[in-house]
Each structure stands twice: as C-alpha cells, then as structure tokens.
Chain A
Amino acid sequence: MLFRTLADPSRRAIFERLCRDGEQTVSALTARAGISQPAVSKHLLALKQAGLVRDRHEGRNTHYSAQLAALAPLIDWTSQLTGYWQKKFDDLEYLLKRMDQ
C-alpha cells in the first residue's frame, strides 16, 4: 500500500512538499503542483487512505499534514527527527501567531 501510493510521481511530490513545509491547504498545494485542484484532491485522498496524510478542517479550509509515523518502516531516525522538528516548527509558528493577539 505504502509503496504503491508513493509510486506516483505527482503524489510523491505532494507528500514531499507536506513533509518539507508542514501543514498546507489544497489551494496552496495546487499552486505549486502544476496540476489541477481536483487532481491534487484525488492524490490527497489516496495519501489519506494510506495513512500518509491527515486532514484538519478549519472554517472553509481543509489543512493537510504529513503523517511521518506511517513511513516508519521505510525511514531511519534522521528522517524521523527531521519530521519531529518540522512538526515542532508548525507548533512554533502557531504560537507566534497567537502572540500577536
């Protein structure tokens, strides 16, 4: 399932983008993907079914984030640690936003 899901290059690019840049909306992902929004949504659904991404609804937007734990069988601790800090940076940015209020 994991290998099959990530075999598609566009899908893999979307997943890598989420790993690298943290949580994002479909429109943000589409802007960079070079394919249509419905195509991006379809890839996200496949990634979600494989447990590789998680969605979070906020108002009218759905935010997607990578679930690095799903990759555990494939990756070494270096990647895990990178994912840990990416997540921490997400939390840090969220905190900085709230500090303005």
Chain B
Amino acid sequence: MMNTATELKTVIVERDIAHPPEKLWRALTQPHLIEEWLMKNDFAPRVGHRFNLRGDWGGVLDCEVLTVEPHRTLSYTWNHKHDNAAFNLTSVVTFTLTPTPNGTHLRMEQSGFRPDQRQAFGGARQGWEQHLANLEQTLTRID
C-alpha cells in the first residue's frame, strides 16, 4: 500500500439529503438543473455520451457518461487537459443514490487521481475558488 507512485487516490463525500431519489436524479441529470449547482454543461443521461462541464473561470472538463441506472447510479469521466501533459487530470466521478426513510443517501466518489497530480489540482485551485465565489454570489441574488 506504500507504493505511492502508482497508488490511485479516491475522494468520497456522502450526505443524507431530505429529498427522494427521483427528484435528486433530476438535479443530477437535467442540464439546466446541473448548471444550477455544478457547472454549465451539455450533459445527456446516455452511456457513451461525451460532454463538457464549463466553469465560470474558463476551465473545461472533458466528460463521458459511463453508467446510467436511473435513480441509483450515475458515473462519468472528469478529465481536464492541461497544456503541460504532466498536469493532465484524469478521474471518474460516481454518484450513488440509496433511498432512506427521510429521503436519499447521496455518495459521491471521485477516483483515479495519482498523488503526483497534486500540482495539477493546486494549479486549478485559484479557478475553483473563483468559481465557488461566483456561485455564492448567484445564490445570494436568488435570496
């Protein structure tokens, strides 16, 4: 397990959401709703569909739908090409929805990073922060 050169990293974020899986599924798969919480996109819930997630900071993620099990599982690639190939980012994002008495348990797993890609993410940090700041502003305006 100490073979850090080839070890692939995984990030898991889980949350109990007070809404049914069917509704959560819509927010995960309908482009205008995805844009509300994640990024601009041309997503379609079809295995093999290639799409982009476009951040307000100008970054573009190359994605391809891998798994579509309505109301249960959605996964797609989450790749970011960098001018310098050493900074390329390659990963897979998987959302798993499990019904609970009060709604849905949502699990997000992002896997495939290598530890030596740390710099790539660090480099993208500025953009991500800007992206989040913009999002907060949008939400404040909606209030």
Contact = CB atoms under 8 A, between A and B. Distances in A.
Contact of A96 (B19, B121, B128, B140): B19
Contacts of A22: 15
A3 interface: no
B110 A91 contact: no
Interface string A79-101: 01110111111011111101100
A80 B9 contact: no
Contacts of A8: none
B37 A77 contact: no
B26 interface: yes
Contact of A78 (B9, B19, B33): B9
A12 B121 CA distance: 26
Contact of A85 (B11, B140, B143): B11
Contacts of B26: 99
Contacts of A93: 15, 17-18
Interface in A58-87: 58, 69, 72, 76-78, 80-82, 84-87
Interface in B79-138: 106, 108, 110, 113, 117-118, 121-122, 125, 128-129, 132, 135
B132 A87 contact: yes
B44 interface: no
A96 B104 CA distance: 12
Contacts of B117: 77
B36 interface: yes
Question: Most A CB atoms within 10 A — which of B27, B37, B143?
Answer: B37
A91 B135 contact: yes
Contacts of A82: 11, 13
B142 interface: yes
Contacts of A69: 125, 129
Interface in A18-67: 21-22, 56, 58
Q: What are the 5 A-B residue pairs with the smallest beta carbon separation, nearest first?
A: A77-B121, A85-B13, A91-B37, A92-B37, A81-B11
